[in-house]
């Protein structure tokens, strides 16, 4: 079931995998890699090593979205209706 923005669990999982792959390209064995092209959330980006903070932020965002969609969406508690 998609979230309020129409993002499905599969799309969120794919975006998370792409963000992790981008980080791995820089942190792992690809020492000659200076730029990396990846798509996350439907947006294609070309990133450099200097973008690692942005990539880590993407990982946190998509991980949270995957967790949210995995449990069925947003849970609202303690709502007070004003009249």
46 has a pLDDT exceeding 90: no
Q: Write the Ramachandran bin of 7: left for phi over 0, alpha for psi from -120 to 50, otherwise beta.
A: beta
**What value, to the nearest 5°, has the Cα angle with vertex 75 and ends 4 and 8?**
35
63 has a pLDDT exceeding 90: yes
State mean pLDDT over 2-9: 78
Residue 58 · residue 40 · CB < 8 Å? yes
23 half-sphere exposure, CB direction, 13 A CA radius? 15
Distance CA 41, CA 31 (A): 26
pLDDT at 7: 84
Least confident piece of the model among 29-33, 41-45, 69-73? 29-33
Percent of the chain with pLDDT over 70: 76
The reported pTM is: 0.69
* pLDDT tier at 75, thresholds 50, 70, 90: low
State mean pLDDT over 50-58: 87
């Amino acid at each position: 079931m998609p979230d309020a923005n129409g993002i499905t669990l599969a799309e969120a999982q794919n975006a998370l995998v792409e963000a992790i792959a981008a980080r791995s390209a820089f942190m792992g064995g690809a020492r000659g890699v200076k730029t990396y092209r990846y798509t996350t959330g439907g947006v294609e980006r070309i990133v450099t090593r200097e973008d690692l903070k942005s990539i880590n932020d993407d990982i946190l965002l998509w991980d949270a979205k995957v967790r949210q969609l995995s449990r069925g969406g947003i849970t609202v508690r303690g709502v007070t209706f004003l009249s």
